[in-house]
Amino acid sequence: MSETTAASQFHEAPDVRAAVDTIVSRLEMVQKGIDSARPPREASVETLDGWIARSTATKGRGPIFPYVGSGIGRGPLVELLDGSVKWDLINGIGVHMFGHSDPGMVRAAIEASLGDVAMEGNLQFNAESIAFAELLLEEANRGSSLSHAFITNSGAMANESGLKVCQQKTGGRPRVLAFEHCFMGRSTTMAQIGDSAGGRVGIPLNTHVDYMPFYDPNLGARSIEMAVWHLEQYLRRYPDQHSCFIFELVQGEGGFNVAPREFFLPLMQRCREVGIPVWDDEVQTFGRNTEMFYYDVLDLGEYVDVVAFGKMSQACGCLFTEALAPRPGLLSGTFIGSSTAFSVGRAALNRLRQGGYYGPTGRIAEMHAAFRTHASALVDRRPEWFPEVIDDFGRPLADMVGGTGGMCRLTPFGGRKDAMVKLLDVMFEEGVIAFYCGHGPFHLRFLPPVGVMEPQHFEPVFEIVERAMARVADVIDS
């Protein structure tokens, strides 16, 4: 920004910089008292209950957890309005990569809030959204031909934009290929593509989706053969009718399911041969593994035509190659995101790529290894809580502990949904916030804030998890 602008004179003024420094220093001083989980303060419980009642009245339904934040936390710890402190291992389904009240993120948000507008749009925008998109493309270009970015304000709209780009490129082909158990968002079209019956109840089904089997570790190479066979069946049944193949390289809502490169490669190669765009949905995986983009983890970037990203980046969007660049008028929107989202998102991405987080020995890999160590020890110590889980074909679940990077799962109590819901309630009461994933079996899902989560944090977390499981085991066994 030019030093001659009024904006630069304001933002760089010594008294403004000093005021920001004072706020951040005060935050760091207050945070020192937030160092572990703690129960509610009795005098504050009624206040939290009142806010929960108000939330229920405005939304027409109660929240999943009695959660209303006080507005402060410390990394993976968050304070609620009742004065309790919880280990936040779900972070808004992975949005808060640096947890709560990270001083660097707070500084970025304050500085952005000094701007002239709260929201930027496609018609009028400031420099921050351009720099945000440039950073994403710089990282994406390391292993792909992605060259353009359309920024928007939700993962579902990122996916809607990706679908439109693919449909325009293929001349309006009406069908979509996607994996079973996929999740795409809550818009009308994305709810139809997502493989969840409950998510599309009452919605007219006018999007044609052909579901592919995802990788089955019990079958290994045979699973790859089956997927290729299914793809060929669809191509023969509906020639030249598919606008895209949507790849969740790691399934999120579906159960944190992973697959090797060898599974995806022949499918992507076949799509390339027949002119079907390859769409990589990284709204949940983005940023939280050993590389910023998961296609780089699997070395598949040369096949990717469109990528949807979101959550931890604070603003969302889709990236696409020059060959899929849309014609004017296809992609737009009043809002693309808030100025603070762009500032905080860029600060987070820069710290992640410069702070030793990525790579096979980076901080994210170390954190995931620590999770597996503690989770596996719990499975070994209390095997009665982890009975064998049998799938529809009579085969056992390959591993009670799963996931990758900052996507971690554990499967207690036979993967029963009723037990999982009860466990989440008890864990919340004891001091750990998590959620579930999968469609049966159901898994305990953790999305820890990989920007601030340290391996040693899992020790107090799993002490609470074990205590909660003991309470639930007594109830479901009685």
The domain ranges of the chain are: 1-32, 119-354, 363-477
Q: Residue 478's pLDDT is what? A: 54
Q: Residue 1's pLDDT is what? A: 45
Q: Residue 44's pLDDT is what? A: 79
Tokens of 308: 């949807």
Cα 309 from Cα 135, distance rounded (Å): 13
Q: Residue 393's pLDDT is what? A: 77
In terms of Cα–Cα distance, which of 199, 95, 196, 124 is closest to 442?
A: 196
Low-confidence ranges of the chain (pLDDT < 50): 1-2
Residues forming beta bridges with residue 210, ordered by sequence position: 177
Residue 208 CB neighbour total at 10 angstroms? 15
Estimate the crossing angle of helix 339-354 against helix 127-140, to 10 degrees: 30
Cis amide prior to 455 (ω within 30 degrees): no
Cβ-count burial of 241 within 10 angstroms (0-12 exposed, 13-18 middle, 19+ buried)? Answer: middle
Q: Residue 102's pLDDT is what? A: 98
Tokens of 312: 């931890």
**What is the largest distance, in Å, between two alpha-carbon atoms of the chain?**
74
Chain center to CA of 352: 15
On whether the 119-354 domain is CATH 3.90.79.10, my answer is no
Can you give the pTM of this predicted structure?
0.95
Cα 139 from Cα 352, distance rounded (Å): 11
Spatial contact of 446 and 434, defined as CB atoms under 8 Å apart: yes
Spatial contact of 12 and 115, defined as CB atoms under 8 Å apart: no
On whether the 363-477 domain is CATH 3.90.1150.10, my answer is yes
Q: Residue 209's pLDDT is what? A: 98
Q: Residue 374's pLDDT is what? A: 98
In terms of Cα–Cα distance, which of 105, 112, 150 is closest to 352?
A: 105
Spatial contact of 446 and 371, defined as CB atoms under 8 Å apart: yes
The dihedral over CA atoms of 436, 442, 443, 448, expressed in degrees to the nearest 10, equals -20
Tokens of 394: 């009579």
